[in-house]
Amino acid sequence: MNRLYKYLNNGEVALGIIFLIIFIFFSFASEYFFSLRNIMNVSGQLSIILIASVGFAVLLIAGEVDISIGSLLAFVAIPLVQIMNHTESVMLGIIVCILFGAIIGLINGFLSIYLGISSLIVTLGMLFILRGAVYLYTGQRPISDELYSDFFFNIGNGKLFGTIPYAALVGIVILLIFIFIMKNTSYGRKLYAIGGNAEVARLAGYNIKLLKLSAFVICSVLSSVSAILLASRIGSANHVAGDLFEFQVVAAVVLGGVSLAGGIGTLTGAALGVLILAVISNGLGMLNVESQWQMVLNGIIIILAVGFDELKRRKN
Amino acid sequence: MKIFSWLMTVIVASTLSFSSFANPKKIGYIVNYGTHEWYQNVIFGLQSRADELGIDFEVMDANLDINKQTAMAEDFMTKAVDVLIMTPVNEEGVVPILRKAKADGTPVVLEGNPAKGMTTLFAICDYDAGYKAGDAVGRILVSRGETEARVMDVGLPLLSATVLRSLGFMEAIAKHVDAVKVHELDGSGMIDSSVEVASAALAADSNINVIYGINDGSALGGLQAWRAAGLPENDLIVAGTGAEGLAFLNEMTKENTPYLVEAAMFPEGVGYTGMNLAVDLFNGVDVPEHKVTPTLALTVHNYANYYSFDKAGQTRQINFENVANIPTETKCTKYASDL
């Protein structure tokens, strides 16, 4: 009995059970929900948020935060599409896009860690800088993908064997890599340590600044990967892309049990958070529930998740 | 034998006609911004026609999020809708959706703006709507013995559609009297922004006799600024665009109001036309690339032919039959590409 209680008290197991309950509910409630096509659609749709959530969770575990990822999504898509249009090279566009992401991560990290400005404030400022730059550069008009490359189209829209979205495969591979890193490498354990108690980590001889800087770069680079998938799905670099995206990511990651205070949480949990929110959104859509209700529900979920996180921390 | 062959003819003919004009069972619509009054009325028109035809009609709101619109289109295809109607969040963003829908065999009808790879579109002609309002204002000016229109244009220069409205309005007035655009403003299409920019413009130069708004909010915002400045309304003419909701009707039916003309775009009629177009597309009827929906210069003298409303400002009813009978262009006089 004690073991069962302990098992159920595990956050990931509890999330898994919640996910199953929601999944079974929608399977009975909607005739369209439980179909291979719909499940594959959802897996493709959620990959954008999943990849960014992995990066965001890594940074949160390291005790920092980046709320500029939504604007970054719109910003880094511009060099991607522009380079593709002008050089006809998708790969070059992708490389430069990720490079831009890495540079923004470095700037966020440098300002937060080396100048000691709160990462919340730095990335809030970056949110406005990037969005403003996007508006200025694009004149508030989307930049179309004029290359019409099948390769680029298929990144976000194609399916392996006509069934499994490539975007979902990209998301799963990235998730598995980072689960491995966070669980099985000293680098991952150090990120948990500096997020949990930076002072102890410092005394243990960890290079806190470098570790945190790397977490910022991971967060921005993975958001850039999300930007590539998004640009492919919408065939353009869109000036309003990623608007409020950061809040969707926060909701999913916090729901997944990653603590806002740092040092606690797993990427499996974060992924389950993404999965739960995506399934709820899709299921309500299948039931023809107004999307405004989804917004209300997401808000309630964020408050409940953060509330539980706070209670758990106080108890500990 | 004769009776038998006659019966066979009737059976074959009715079977053919049934198969030719069968209605789709389910149609999905993804609106770009469902909380706007215009789109609520478009949805009303779509729903009204769907109800008449016995079609199961579902709406999803992308809320200006193109990624959401893409996901919703996939969801509708999973639901196996017979036709998908969309108001694009932006024209570039729906190109991959159109490509996917084509691969899926789902016919797509767009509303508002054309996109690469589309089959058909239902939308008003912005230039012509503005032109009709300008023509009506020009006639009023002539009837008043005026020789010059000094216009404050509460516009939205960022959007080609609204630029076309302003252009049509000015060009039509110029056919009647000398037309001068004294103020060319960016009211962002919102009443509060329009009040702000119009107030500043009037402080600089209030020697105008026509206020034009590219939508209802812009026209009403311009008028509000005029009133706030305490300027006389006797010689002023206000013209709005859209007939989006009730606000313009409430203003237009007031006594001695300067709000005399509305370039009505009948959003409910837009929806009604759109549903017919979707049914035609489903049935394989040869549909036009652009189905133009009716527009008209609405005044206090003719509005009752098209709208009835309660003065409490709660509801309005459209007369679909009269709107459908408005003579409509087969092509717009000017498109965004002409700018």
The string of pLDDT tens digits covering residues B207-264 is 999 999 999 999 999 999 999 999 999 999 999 999 988 889 999 999 999 999 999 9
On whether residue A5 sits in a domain, the answer given is no
Q: Which residues 189-218 of A are in CB contact (within 8 Å) with B?
A: none
Secondary structure element (H or E) that encloses residue B90, with its range: none
Question: Interface pTM (ipTM) of the complex?
Answer: 0.87
Does the pLDDT at position A136 exceed 60?
Answer: yes
Q: Which of A73, A123, A76, A115 is nearest to A96 (CA)?
A: A76
The whole-number pLDDT of residue B70 equals: 95
Residue A293 CA to residue A66 CA, distance in Å, equals 27
Q: Which of B337, B264, B271 is nearest to B296 (CA)?
A: B264
**Are A235 and B95 an interchain contact pair (Cβ–Cβ within 8 Å)?**
yes
Q: Contact A257/A53 with Cβ under 8 angstroms?
A: no
On whether residue A70 sits in a domain, the answer given is yes
The total of structural domains in chain A comes to: 1
Backbone angles phi, psi at B29, to 5 degrees: -130, 125
pLDDT greater at residue B52 or residue A298: B52
The C-alpha angle with vertex A290 and arms to A288 and A291, in degrees rounded to 5, equals 110
On whether residue A24 sits in a domain, the answer given is no
On whether residue A66 sits in a domain, the answer given is yes
On whether residue A132 sits in a domain, the answer given is yes
Residue B323 CA to residue B306 CA, distance in Å, equals 6
Interface test with A, best of B67, B158, B159 (most A CBs within 10 A): B67
A310 CA to chain B: closest CA distance, Å? 31
Q: Which of B204, B228, B225, B200 is nearest to B213 (CA)?
A: B225
**Neighbouring-strand partners of residue B306:** none
pLDDT in tens, A12-67: 888 899 999 999 999 999 999 999 999 999 999 999 999 999 999 999 999 999 99
On whether residue A262 sits in a domain, the answer given is no
Residues spanned by the domain of A207: 33-242
DSSP one-letter code for A289: -
Which residues in chain B are contacts of A157 at CB distance < 8 A?
96, 99-100
On whether residue A98 sits in a domain, the answer given is yes
**Are A234 and B96 an interchain contact pair (Cβ–Cβ within 8 Å)?**
yes
The whole-number pLDDT of residue A302 equals: 76
pLDDT in tens, A103-131: 999 999 999 999 999 999 999 999 999 99
On whether residue A294 sits in a domain, the answer given is no
Residue B31 CA to residue B88 CA, distance in Å, equals 8
Cβ of A230 under 8 Å from any chain B Cβ?
yes
Interface test with B, best of A138, A233, A248 (most B CBs within 10 A): A233
Residue type at B167 in one-letter notation: L
Instruction: Spell out the domains of chain B, with CATH numbers in brackets.
Output: 19-124+267-293 (3.40.50.2300), 126-264+331-338 (3.40.50.2300)
| Residue A3 confidence class, pLDDT cut points 50, 70, 90 | low
Secondary structure element (H or E) that encloses residue B291, with its range: strand B290-292
Edge-to-edge strand ranges of the sheet holding B178-186: B178-186, B148-155, B210-213, B237-242, B259-264, B296-298
The whole-number pLDDT of residue B158 equals: 74
Strands B290-292 and B120-123: parallel
pLDDT in tens, chain B (339 residues): 455 555 555 454 444 444 456 889 999 999 998 888 889 999 999 999 999 999 999 999 998 889 999 999 999 999 999 999 999 988 888 999 999 999 999 999 999 888 999 999 999 999 999 999 999 999 999 999 999 999 999 998 877 889 999 999 999 999 999 999 999 999 988 999 999 999 999 999 999 999 999 999 999 999 999 999 999 999 999 999 999 888 899 999 999 999 999 999 999 999 999 999 999 999 999 999 999 999 999 999 999 999 988 767 678 889 999 999 999 998 899 987 777
